Chains A and B, each alone.
Chain A
Amino acid sequence: QKEVEQDPGPLSVPEGAIVSLNCTYSNSAFQYFMWYRQYSRKGPELLMYTYSSGNKEDGRFTAQVDKSSKYISLFIRDSQPSDSATYLCAMRMTGTASKLTFGTGTRLQVTL
C-alpha cells in the first residue's frame, strides 16, 4: 500500500464548477501538506501549503487537512479552462527536511 493515495482521474468538469481533489495517507506523522499544480510537460509549481489540521484559503483555492481521518482536500471554485492540469499532493514529517512524499497526481480537465 502506498503511503499517499490519490485518484489519478482524469476528472472532467464544466467551466465554473467547484472542483474537489483529494488525497489520503497512512503515516500519522505527516505534518506539512502541499498541493502542486503541473501543466503538461512542465515542472510542478506550488499552489498551497498547510501545517497540521485546518483550512487555508487563497483566492479561488482552499486547502483542507483532516488529520484525524488522514485526508486532505483541495477545492477550486469557479473553475477555469486554465486550471486544466495535474494536481499533486505532497506531505512530510517534521524534521525530515529533505523528503517529501508525493501522490501520483490527479489530472483535471475543465471544459468550456
Chain B
Amino acid sequence: DGGITQSPKYLFRKEGQNVTLSCEQNLNHDAMYWYRQDPGQGLRLIYYSQIVNDFQKGDIAEGYSVSREKKESFPLTVTSAQKNPTAFYLCASSILAGGYSLSGANVLTFGAGSRLTVL
C-alpha cells in the first residue's frame, strides 16, 4: 500500500540534544512538507520541498533543518536552538507540477505523526 511512514512514533529528548525525525513516502509525490501541531494552534508549516535538493522555509522554520536528497525522503532535524520543541510533528506529501498543482487543490496526504517530548 502506498503511503507515508514517519518514525519514530514517540521520541524523548533531553534539552540541548538534536533529534531527527524520519519521513518516507512511496506515493511518487513531488512535494513534501513538515508541520507542527500544538493544542489550540492548528497545523503550522515548518519546511516544504517541491523538488529534490531544494526546500523552503515555512512559517516557523527557526530551530529546524531539513534535507531532500531523495524524492522519497524528507527528514526533519529538531535542533537545540528550537526553544519549545515538545509537539506532534506531521509529515505530508502532495502531487505538484511546475510549482502548481494539477488537481488544483494540492491535497495533502499525511503520515501518522511523531510525538516529540523534551525532558
Contacts and interface: CB of A to CB of B under 8 A. Distances in A.
Interface of A: 4, 6, 8, 32, 34, 36, 41-46, 49, 51, 88, 90, 92, 94-95, 97-100, 102-105
Given A41-B115, A92-B106, 5 more contacts: A4-B42, A43-B112, A97-B31, A97-B101, A100-B45
Instruction: Give chain A's interface secondary structure class.
Output: loop
A90 to B, nearest CB: 8
Q: Which 10 A-B pairs have the closest CB atoms?
A: A43-B110, A104-B42, A102-B43, A102-B42, A49-B105, A32-B105, A97-B101, A43-B112, A97-B100, A44-B110
A36 B94 CA distance: 15
23 contacts: A4-B42, A32-B104, A34-B107, A36-B110, A41-B113, A42-B113, A43-B4, A43-B111, A43-B112, A44-B110, A45-B110, A51-B105, A88-B43, A90-B43, A97-B99, A97-B100, A98-B31, A98-B99, A98-B106, A100-B106, A102-B42, A104-B42, A105-B42
Interface in B5-20: 6
Interface string B86-119: 0000101000100111001111111111010000
B1 to A, nearest CB: 14
A97 B108 CA distance: 11
Contact of A88 (B31, B42, B96): B42
